[in-house]
Amino acid sequence: MGTALVYHEDMTAARLLWDDPECEIECPERLTIALERLRQRGLEQRCLRLAAREASEEELGLVHSPEYVALLRGTQALGTGELQALSGQYDAIYFHPSTFHCARLAAGAALQLVDAVLTGAVQNGLALVRPPGHHSQRAAANGFCVFNNVAIAAKHAKQKHGLHRILIVDWDIHHGQGIQYIFEDDPSVLYFSWHRYEHGRFWPYLQESDTDAVGQGQGCGFTVNLPWNQVGMGNADYVAAFLHVLLPLAFEFDPELVLVAAGFDSAVGDPEGQMQATPECFAHLTQLLQVLACGRVCAVLEGGYHLESLSQSVCMMVQALLGDPPLPLSGPMEPHRSALESIQSVRAAQAPHWMSLQQQDAAPVLSPSTRSPEGSISPLLPGGPEFKAPVVQTEAQAVVALSSLLDQLRLYPTPPLRTAVALTELDAALVLPPDVLHWERSAPQKEMQAWARPHEALAQDKSFNALGKVLYLLDSILDGQVSSGIAATPAPAAAATLDVAIQRGLSHRAQRLLCVAVGQLDRPLDLADDGRTLWLNIRGKEAAALSMFHVSTPLPGLLKGCDPVTWRRLGWTSQNGHRDPAPRAGVNRPRTGRPRQCPEAGPASTRRPESPLACADGRPCSPRPGSKQLSESLTPPS
């Protein structure tokens, strides 16, 4: 399935007819040059080209008031003076006699794109439009925007295609306050926007662009604002925002469709944004979004005023939509301090509403007394032996008991140490950050011997010593002293060490284990294929897979390895993120993406109709293959 490119030449007709330095940047060349560049690179030709149609007035009415639509209809007959006078009633707006036609085409293009994706004609696509849409409101034009193209498309996807969860990612550098207002109280639309904010000193100067605007009523937690308080944000900041804010929430929300308010004024060179992200960054961001909603990504152009930067970024996004592997990112890969502060702030503001943000930030520190002196495994739960499993009688009680159990599990604190390394002498020269702890200890000798015995590769002293450190580190992580760690082992012992680590992890306290093996490493033969271990091998070429829990994918670039289609073919879709067989904290949560702890949100809803959509291979999106009964996975392995 391909990529749609929706466009109509008529959208270049509207232009500024008088002098206005603020508005002159929104010019017809934005579209012509971007399209020309797509042609030059042969990208336009690879897309399914669709001619944009006008949105009907009824469709505009999904978002806008009839009076506002009528007012816009009337602008077609106005003279320049009248147009200028009317424009002056709005903030950063110019009207042209062709504005109404263009704006209807822009909204219509977004609708066509959504229709093409949701009918399965294409996998994804981009609508190249102007005027942009995300600032426009029910009865107001604003910030070059006349009709809210993306908002209309989202309403249409709900109404005409019966969707229940739509994610809107607004990576334009301005806050799409129009989209925010329209879906403020709507839990079926998760709206994420990052924007230049500078503590409120950047246009449109709104308090509601800050992190504490999280939505209202039922929609509480479905508005996510990430304000940038400094200019100069770059690739690292954008990727960090995706990894630490957007994607955790998006996975939890589990959208059926992703709409991108794709403004490229967030790219380097743009006079509005003053940011540093390079065009390739948008390929990466696009690729990250393709893991959601079975890859159904509809992007609609918003801003972007540096013609060269805009065109390059558009090309990068289209390439990613087409499935080409993105170019590597350049520039500093450490986020700015100010960016981390913003990320921290939005995570804190959203934490009450999203499971995936809980328990990680600002959790109480594990008291040393709960750790056993030898560093051997201490009781699984903080209360240790005092922890009482509730006695269960009826099924209803079982549910209550289970959620209380889960509540206790959720309180399990964040380890006081973030990262430890267990290295052998060989690697001791490695330069590590100062807050990384060097872990010197080993697992008890007897235990190690027992684990190492079946493996010839572990007979050697060096390998054996390394194993001891690996196991000790693993135990430290499993019993909550450390969050993460890095260990080294001599190459010939790698497979055996990994085998022992997996077996030990599973036999101790890991409920489910993800093993990512980079390089030519085969899955341990005796690993049970019971769904507790997901083995992902990234290697030179695709290797035979035993089951859906055994995935082998070629290195990106070698065989289009990052293609989500590969994953779908293996039975893994974004929905598999919810397999949830074991007691994770979210079991009692409705799968509507409704946030927790929102007083207005009402009782835990059962409102989660099955998705009307199917994946590329024809399977419906929702069923979760391989999930186990809770009772089954609660039983510790013998």
Q: Please enumerate in sequence order all residues whose Cβ is within 8 A of that of 63, keeping only pairs 6 or more positions apart, or say none.
A: 138, 147, 148, 151, 152, 155, 182
Active site residue 134: no
User: Alpha-carbon distance 284 to 213, whole Å?
Assistant: 27
Cβ closest to ligand Q9C, residue 215 vs residue 303: 303
Residues 144-183 that bind Zn ion (CB under 5 A): 172, 174
Residue from the set 210, 256, 280, 302 that interacts with ligand Q9C by CB under 6 A = 302
Residues 338-397 that bind ligand Q9C (CB under 6 A): none
| Site membership for ligand Q9C, residue 263 (CB under 6 A) | yes
> Rounded to an integer, what is the distance from CA 438 to the centroid of its chain?
33
| Site membership for Zn ion, residue 303 (CB under 5 A) | yes
| Site membership for ligand Q9C, residue 145 (CB under 6 A) | yes
Q: Tell me the C-alpha to C-alpha distance, in Å, between residue 195 and each of 30, 313, 577.
A: 21, 17, 28
Choices 140-148, 378-386, 499-507, 614-622; region in contact with ligand Q9C by CB under 6 A: 140-148
User: Alpha-carbon distance 184 to 395, whole Å?
Assistant: 38
| Site membership for Zn ion, residue 269 (CB under 5 A) | no
User: Alpha-carbon distance 360 to 379, whole Å?
Assistant: 21
Cβ closest to Zn ion, residue 265 vs residue 580: 265
Minimum distance of ligand Q9C from residue 202's CB (angstroms): 7
Q: Please enumerate in sequence order all residues whose Cβ is within 8 A of that of 174, keeping only pairs 6 or more positions apart, or say none.
A: 134, 135, 143, 195, 196, 203, 204, 263, 265, 272, 303
| Site membership for ligand Q9C, residue 143 (CB under 6 A) | yes
Cβ closest to ligand Q9C, residue 254 vs residue 265: 265
Choices 60-68, 141-149, 211-219, 414-422; region in contact with ligand Q9C by CB under 6 A: 141-149
Minimum distance of ligand Q9C from residue 231's CB (angstroms): 11
Cβ closest to ligand Q9C, residue 172 vs residue 563: 172
| Site membership for ligand Q9C, residue 269 (CB under 6 A) | no
| Site membership for ligand Q9C, residue 270 (CB under 6 A) | no
User: Alpha-carbon distance 305 to 103, whole Å?
Assistant: 18
Q: Provide DSSP, 136-191.
A: -BTTB-BTTBSS-HHHHHHHHHHHHH----EEEEE-SSS--HHHHHHHTT-TTEEE
DSSP 8-class letter at 142:
B
Residue from the set 263, 279, 382, 505 that interacts with Zn ion by CB under 5 A = 263
Give the three-state DSSP class for 592.
Answer: coil
Cβ closest to ligand Q9C, residue 309 vs residue 575: 309
User: Alpha-carbon distance 458 to 480, whole Å?
Assistant: 27
| Site membership for ligand Q9C, residue 94 (CB under 6 A) | no
User: Alpha-carbon distance 71 to 64, whole Å?
Assistant: 11
Residue from the set 125, 132, 187, 564 that interacts with ligand Q9C by CB under 6 A = 132
Cβ closest to Zn ion, residue 263 vs residue 564: 263
Number of residues engaging Zn ion in binding (CB under 5 A)? 5
- Point out the residue whose Cβ comes nearest to ligand Q9C: 303
Q: Map tokens 């599973």 to a residue.
A: 506
| Residue 109: closest CA among 94, 93, 92, 129 | 129
| Site membership for ligand Q9C, residue 44 (CB under 6 A) | no
Minimum distance of ligand Q9C from residue 368's CB (angstroms): 53
State the binding partner of 144 from ligand Q9C, Zn ion, none, CB within 5 to 8 A by kind: ligand Q9C
User: Alpha-carbon distance 252 to 73, whole Å?
Assistant: 41
Cβ closest to ligand Q9C, residue 153 vs residue 294: 153
Q: Tell me the C-alpha to C-alpha distance, in Å, between residue 616 and each of 5, 6, 293, 474, 582.
A: 20, 22, 11, 39, 28
DSSP 8-class letter at 246:
I
Per-residue mark of binding to ligand Q9C, 168-207 (x: CB under 6 A): ----x-x----------------------------x----
State the binding partner of 22 from Zn ion, ligand Q9C, none, CB within 5 to 8 A by kind: ligand Q9C
Per-residue mark of binding to Zn ion, 516-555 (x: CB under 5 A): ----------------------------------------
Cβ closest to ligand Q9C, residue 211 vs residue 266: 266
Minimum distance of ligand Q9C from residue 136's CB (angstroms): 9
Minimum distance of Zn ion from residue 173's CB (angstroms): 5
Task: Specify the amino acid at residue 516.
Answer: V
CA angle at 139 for the pair 135 and 143, rounded to the nearest 5°: 25
Q: Please enumerate in sequence order all residues whose Cβ is within 8 A of that of 9, keeping only pairs 6 or more positions apart, or say none.
A: none
| Site membership for Zn ion, residue 265 (CB under 5 A) | yes
H helical segments located in 184-333:
235-241, 247-253, 279-289, 307-322
User: Alpha-carbon distance 364 to 380, whole Å?
Assistant: 17
Cβ closest to ligand Q9C, residue 253 vs residue 305: 305
Residue 298 forms beta bridges with which residues? 125, 259
Number of residues engaging ligand Q9C in binding (CB under 6 A)? 15
User: Alpha-carbon distance 274 to 265, whole Å?
Assistant: 8
Q: Provide DSSP, 18-35.
A: S--TTTTTS-THHHHHHH
Token digits for 587? 């079991």
Please identify which of the residues 134, 135, 175, 244 carries the catalytic annotation: 135
Choices 264-272, 398-406, 481-489, 623-631; region in contact with Zn ion by CB under 5 A: 264-272
Give the three-state DSSP class for 57.
Answer: helix
Spatial contact of 405 and 386, defined as CB atoms under 8 Å apart:
no
| Site membership for Zn ion, residue 469 (CB under 5 A) | no
Sites of contact with ligand Q9C (CB under 6 A): 22, 92, 132, 135, 143-145, 172, 174, 203, 263, 265, 272, 302-303
Q: Which residues are catalytic?
A: 135
Sites of contact with Zn ion (CB under 5 A): 172, 174, 263, 265, 303
